[in-house]
Amino acid sequence: MDYNFKKIEAKWQEKWKKLSRFKVDFKNVKKKYYCLMMFPYPSGTLHVGHGRNYIIGDALSRYKVKRGFEVFHPMGWDAFGLPAENYAIKHQVHPRTSTLKNIEACKSQFLKWGILYDWEHELFTCEPSYYKWTQWLFLKFYEKSLAYRKHAPVNWCPSCATVLANEQVVNNACERCDTEVQKKELKQWFFKITDYADRLLKDLSLLTHWPERVKSMQENWIGRSEGVNIIFKGADFKGGVECYTTRPDTLYGVTFVALAAEHRLLETFNLSPEVKKFIDEVKGQVVRPEDKFEKKGVFLGKHIINPVNRDKIPLWVTNYAIMEYGTGAVMAVPAHDQRDFEFAQEYKLPIKVVIQNEDKSLREESLKEAFTEVGVQADGGPFNGKKSSEVVSLMRSFLEEKGLGKAQVRYRLRDWLISRQRYWGAPIPIIYCDSCGELPVPEKDLPVILPMDVAFKAEGESPLARETSFVNTKCPQCHKQARRETDTMDTFVDSSWYYLRYLSAHEDKKIFDSERVNQWLPVDQYIGGVEHAILHLLYSRFFTKALYDCGLIHFQEPFQNLFTQGMICKKSPNTGKLEKMSKSKGNVVSPDELIEKYGADTERLYTIFIGPPEKDAEWNDDAVAGCFRFIGRIWDFVLEHKNSYIDVSFKDIKDDVLNPDVKNVLRLTHKVIQDVTNSLEDQFHFNTAVSKIMEYSNEIRGLEYKTQEDCKVLSCALSTLLQLLSPLIPHVTEELWEILGHKKSIFETPWPEYDKEKIQTDTITIPVQVNGKLRVTLEVAASINQEDLKKAALEHPRIQPFIVGKSIKKVIVVPKRLINVVV
């Protein structure tokens, strides 16, 4: 075997650069295919786990090229952001320098993997030519009141020295560095994503080709709930309390109201020292414990009136009612809410059953836990006897009619905090003037350039604030001295619209060419990691909807099909556990070493064959060798027969003169085309496509091809084999294609076509079951009629013993499938 992968791969990587078939022609929109990878954060060297994403994308776009699509497969760099800045601080370099260096390293890695991008449309989010338009979008949002500044409690990461968006806080810690976040009251810039909560939720149903997992995560994050705000008047104080509930059917069972410690009403009361002490304690709990904690509260000495039955209800302040949800006041129904139940038991508060179970056995005095299921209304109110689930909406309308409450839809989603007190990001284009106030930077003055020569160490306020030459500017309105906003934007703003910019990456007069964008989007296939399920994917959907509302684009969802590939894991020598590849875990497999030993095609094949691409997979060095062997066998097989190869197609073969074995090869060839095509078309079954090709190659390699006609079949088989493998292992297939005498690149030839008729066989194998158990398989002519088939089965010597002396109840004959004899 003289499979010199190094030479072959270098040769073709060079040749492909000149191949126009891999460059997009935007005008050819008839069969367009926009294949988008989540663009990388250039943070250093890539490992084989990263490779999976790009290899899948490359295989897909090469396949689509062969299917005759005009494929747009661009690449760019998510180049602003904290990791680059932190690295720069640590190593005393400018983040731009280190980032550009990393980008070069990534690019050469892509090249070595044989991944083809249309580099003419490359973009860098950290360059003024890009962030000018990020700033322009900010102004657009500002104009539409979608960008605004407010004083609010925000999440502060002390280690990153900046505020974070809600989406970047995981278990009360910074998602990046895992430091516990602090709550701070600060004036910050927000995007009004909550205006889109409803549409972001509803339109998830349009995304039929998104993983359920991702949709469910977004749904949970948006967190819609339908309820009522019910007004309870004070019995012994002025005003009242508004409670939000999703269970108005339990209104008759309210026995107390629980206020959050931060509730405004408390400020209007004359509170005893003990109550004040309690409130301060609860407020002082920096982190409200996530898991079970003891419910506590104090009675305020005040009462309110239940609007439907005039009950006088005590008012409590508790640690389990929270201000951030609903109205910060809970109408507590201990009989039908477990939390209220626990609290009522602790403080000996009354429990009132107003919904009965099926056998009407719920008794207040013997209740062990709250009854939270659907039951029958038993409250003495107007809906008595009705199903409680129906009463929910009946009660809601009833309360609205009487002016006692108001239907409310609430979302968990909060506005997106986009200010960052860090250097390496796009400056927020706002100017503050003492006389004119807050003003947007005029469009003609964009971009607001991020100064390069800055002491960028983060110390709690933006490093830009120390740069007087940046801060000081003229008011665009009155031209007096004014100050610039010094915060930069969250990098997720940059990445929320890059897929639009690819289409006009070098346009400097406008953000993008709307006509072209409308023709080429939505993206036909988006591929990336599931870690972006909420952050990037939700933000991008929001941007698309906002841009739609601005009239800039005609579509409302950016990504038609989403594919989230699984991670590649390996046992860590440090922990002994299976972990995601990372330097700190010591379980990284370097593509360089792998390519050195086996070549890029082997890495590509193994990466695709490792398992279902959407699932996490364990890297196995032995199995890599298996893939290398497979390529070697293909290499030997093609070389062995290259002299018999003739450039023919299926229609040149006279199949009636073939011997059965060779005829079968012809049949299998049609079949493998069908199978592989289906696997690639049908939701990314790349791994089974490889198995099918392996199986096929095992079948055809063992035979002898003697006659002229045999050689034609062999030639078709060889060409099919290479065609089918070409998107997956492009270098070696190109080389073999050339060795067989072809002048054109294999990627300039179309994907093979199969003939369904030719897949049919003359004889078929029919399993024969007795009482559902397989007893024998029968070789019969495909054209056999049901009666003959049945007869053949019943007379078979291996079936006879099972039926002799027994009465045959029924014989099931499924044409071309099986026979089942029931005795």
Partner RNA sequence: GCCGGGGUGGCGGAACUGGCAGACGCGCAUGACUUAGGAUCAUGUGGGUUAUCCCGUGAAGGUUCAAGUCCUUUCCCCGGCACCA
- The residues pairing with 822 across neighbouring beta strands, listed in sequence order, are 810
Report the C-alpha gap between 768 and 784 in whole angstroms.
Answer: 15
CB of 327 to RNA, least distance (A): 7
Report the C-alpha gap between 4 and 26 in whole angstroms.
Answer: 37
- The residues pairing with 214 across neighbouring beta strands, listed in sequence order, are none
CB of 598 to RNA, least distance (A): 11
Taking CB under 7 A as the rule, does residue 362 contact RNA?
no
Residue 553: how many other CB atoms lie within 10 Å: 21
Q: Among all chains, which residue has been given the structure tokens 């509803």?
A: 202
CB of 284 to RNA, least distance (A): 15
CB of 87 to RNA, least distance (A): 26
Residue nearer to RNA on the CB measure, 26 or 325: 325
Q: Which tokens is 126 given?
A: 């950290």
Q: What is the DSSP string of 312-335?
A: EEEEEEESSS-TTSTTSEEEE-TT
CB of 412 to RNA, least distance (A): 5
The CA distances from residue 748 to 109, 542, 655, 766, in Å, are 25, 39, 29, 42
Residue nearer to RNA on the CB measure, 275 or 323: 323
Residue nearer to RNA on the CB measure, 44 or 350: 350
Taking CB under 7 A as the rule, does residue 368 contact RNA?
no
For the segment 522-561, give every residue that binds RNA (CB under 7 A): 530, 534
Report the C-alpha gap between 165 and 162 in whole angstroms.
Answer: 10
CB of 635 to RNA, least distance (A): 11
Taking CB under 7 A as the rule, does residue 440 contact RNA?
no
Residue nearer to RNA on the CB measure, 516 or 633: 633
Binding letters toward RNA, positions 587-626, x by CB under 7 A: ----------------------xxxx--xxxx-x-xx-xx
Residue nearer to RNA on the CB measure, 260 or 482: 260
Residue nearer to RNA on the CB measure, 44 or 632: 632
CB 55 within 8 A of CB 95: no
For the segment 662-721, give every residue that binds RNA (CB under 7 A): 685, 687-688, 690-691, 694-695, 698, 702
CB of 468 to RNA, least distance (A): 41
Taking CB under 7 A as the rule, does residue 260 contact RNA?
yes
# of chain residues touching RNA (CB under 7 A): 84
Report the C-alpha gap between 709 and 471 in whole angstroms.
Answer: 81
Taking CB under 7 A as the rule, does residue 432 contact RNA?
no
Taking CB under 7 A as the rule, does residue 812 contact RNA?
yes
CB of 604 to RNA, least distance (A): 15
Q: Which of 675, 717, 691 is nearest to 627 (CA)?
A: 691
Report the C-alpha gap between 473 and 484 in whole angstroms.
Answer: 7
Report the C-alpha gap between 99 and 327 in whole angstroms.
Answer: 47
Binding letters toward RNA, positions 296-335, x by CB under 7 A: -----------------------xxxxxxxxxxxxx----
Residue nearer to RNA on the CB measure, 129 or 688: 688
Report the C-alpha gap between 66 and 751 in whole angstroms.
Answer: 5
Q: Which tokens is 503 given?
A: 């289409």
Q: Which of 90, 84, 129 is nearest to 102 (CA)?
A: 84
Q: Which tokens is 195 given?
A: 């205006």
For the range 395-403, what are the long-range contacts, defined as Cβ-Cβ under 8 Å and sequence gap of 24 or more? 395/228, 395/248, 395/249, 395/251, 396/228, 396/248, 399/228, 399/230, 399/248, 399/251, 399/307, 400/228, 402/307
For the segment 207-236, give every residue that binds RNA (CB under 7 A): 212-213, 216-217, 219-221, 223, 225, 227
Taking CB under 7 A as the rule, does residue 101 contact RNA?
no
Taking CB under 7 A as the rule, does residue 815 contact RNA?
no
Residue nearer to RNA on the CB measure, 280 or 434: 280
For the segment 750-769, give every residue that binds RNA (CB under 7 A): 765, 767, 769
Binding letters toward RNA, positions 27-66, x by CB under 7 A: ----------------------------------------
Taking CB under 7 A as the rule, does residue 249 contact RNA?
no
CB 440 within 8 A of CB 248: no
- The residues pairing with 511 across neighbouring beta strands, listed in sequence order, are none
For the segment 152-211, give every residue that binds RNA (CB under 7 A): 170
- Applying CB under 7 A, the span of 117-125, 155-163, 627-635, 665-673 interacting with RNA comes to 627-635
